[in-house]
Amino acid sequence: MATVTFDKATRIYPGSDKPAVDALDIEIADGEFLVLVGPSGCGKSTSLRMLAGLEDVNGGAIRIGDRDVTHLPPKDRDIAMVFQNYALYPHMTVADNMGFALKIAGVNKAEIRQKVEEAAKILDLTPYLDRKPKALSGGQRQRVAMGRAIVREPQVFLMDEPLSNLDAKLRVSTRTQIASLQRRLGITTVYVTHDQVEALTMGDRVAVLKDGLLQQVDSPRKMYDKPANLFVAGFIGSPAMNLVEVPVTDGGVKFGNSVVPVQRDALSATSDKTVTVGVRPEHFEVAGPDSDLGVAVTVNVVEELGSDAFVYGTATLGGESKDLVVRVGGREVPEKGSTLHVVPRAGETHVFSTSTGARLSD
């Protein structure tokens, strides 16, 4: 097994003067599951392809263990990649697909068969070893692609959105399988997705990219509780964090009719007259209908999820109409068109500089 290091790795595509990946700096521990996440075009797949040797590195270095692999061809890097479209050979059986890399490497047939059968057992593919890929479901093909990677026994697994072709229910069960399989095998894994729920549920750590720049790399819990800037705050979490620009006042910031307390030194770090306050949907307290605290939210849409519900509404803050999302209990669902009075829960708010986007609160 091995560590992986991106040391200010940069990729600039020909004809462009703006890097697709700009000085990426990440240390991935031996056996760690790291997820690269971000919107489309943020550089996450390019970062993975640089590590695989499928894209040139124009600056900085990439290391696997103690080896500098920056300019090594893919076959010499001891990595195995699972692609978005699985890239299986349609004319070969499942067993032949899984063992093909070993056959090319000159491994004898008996050893190939043994390794393929061991991987098939782990992935519940034993009954399908003699089938062709066209006779398999999407989830089974995905497991064959995983099996092909496992059989190689590489130092690093690379996975490029391997669940994006699966239906919603299968995605949930398969991501659990992949995460538990990776923990059992202990192989360092770099996983790319645009789905932040997938990122939070699977990764030991998550790295958020935007426009080729690393925004934050942290454990899922820390990233959820303390996003480093406005972009991460708005990207991580489903539904997204409510972000509202509000005026600074004595002792904190004004949120509707309530003052949200903020440490003085946090506010002294910015010269802005307003700051952006973030409140997650589950961190609002619903006040009584006669309360003059907090803010009045007009209910537009209610998404009922059984155990709880999300209220999508509008509120007037700072003289402007703002969209807010509030989570309420499944048995306390307000009527559409009614008014809900909500107050941000003490200690659960996030404060960001409006001008720079940087986090101000602890």
Maximum average pLDDT range among 232-241, 253-262, 270-279, 284-293:
232-241
Mean pLDDT over 277-298 rounds to 84
Say whether 43 sits in a helix, a strand or coil. Answer: coil
Does 51 share its domain with 164?
yes
Does 61 share its domain with 136?
yes
Domain that holds residue 35: 4-231
Does 163 share its domain with 227?
yes
pLDDT at 269: 66
Q: Is residue 361 part of a domain?
A: no
Q: Is residue 195 part of a domain?
A: yes
Q: Is residue 360 part of a domain?
A: no
pLDDT at 319: 77
Q: Is residue 69 part of a domain?
A: yes
pLDDT at 1: 65
Mean pLDDT over 47-56 rounds to 94
Does 183 share its domain with 65?
yes
Does 247 share its domain with 204?
no
Q: How confident is the model at residue 236 (pLDDT cuts 50, 70, 90)?
A: very high
Q: Is residue 359 part of a domain?
A: no
pLDDT at 167: 84
Q: What is the CATH number of the domain that holds 278?
A: 2.40.50.140
Q: Is residue 107 part of a domain?
A: yes
Does 227 share its domain with 316?
no
Residue with tokens 């923990």: 183
Does 303 share its domain with 203?
no
* Distance between CA atoms of residues 145 and 187, nearest Å: 16
Does 77 share its domain with 201?
yes
Does 260 share its domain with 285?
yes
Domain boundary among 231, 258, 273: 231
Contacting residues for 359 by C-beta, under 8 A, at least 6 apart: 226, 227, 228, 229, 233, 350, 351, 352
- Number of residues assigned to the chain: 362
Domain count for the chain, please give it: 2
Q: Contact, 155 vs 3, CB < 8 A?
A: no
- Structure-token pair, residue 264: 């003085």
Contacting residues for 97 by C-beta, under 8 A, at least 6 apart: 88, 89, 133, 144, 148
pLDDT tens for each residue of 158-207: 999 988 888 888 888 888 888 988 998 899 999 999 988 899 999 999 99
Q: What is the CATH number of the domain that holds 13?
A: 3.40.50.300
pLDDT tens for each residue of 66-107: 999 999 999 899 999 988 888 889 999 999 999 998 888 888
Does 213 share its domain with 257?
no
